[in-house]
Amino acid sequence: QVQLVESGGGLVQAGGSLRLSCASSGSTSRIFAINWYRQAPGKQREFVASISSEDLTNYADSVKGRFTISRDNAKVYLQMNSLKPEDTAVYYCGATLRYSGASYWGQGTQVTVSS
């Protein structure tokens, strides 16, 4: 079992920055990758960024050059710069476990970007 807790969301003006955090606990040694997804009202959840246990990173085209994912021990961060109103969503942190491929999710944190 893995537990994930997101924090750092809030309200920011367009062009501003936020840093989201994802704290993991439990069987963290089994985590293969940490993923950030987001879901806007009325839309499907979409991939934002991921970082593997080997620190390989991947980004959605819509956030490349603006968002940076990084890790520090048991926390993974999503630095979001040059935010746009279309970045408004609930951001979820997810962990993918090695071997089983099982996924665990946090409760989400709201990010609202005003124009």
Residues 49-104 have pLDDT tens digits of: 999 999 999 999 999 999 999 999 889 999 999 999 999 999 999 999 998 888 99
Whether the per-residue pLDDT at 1 is higher than 90: the answer is no
> Do residues 67 and 78 make contact, with C-beta atoms less than 8 angstroms apart?
yes
Whether the per-residue pLDDT at 28 is higher than 90: the answer is no
- Residue (of 103, 83, 99) closest to 34 by Cα position: 103
Bridge-based pairing of strands 46-52 and 57-59 is antiparallel
Share of the chain above pLDDT 90, in %: 88
The confidence score (pLDDT) of residue 38 equals 98
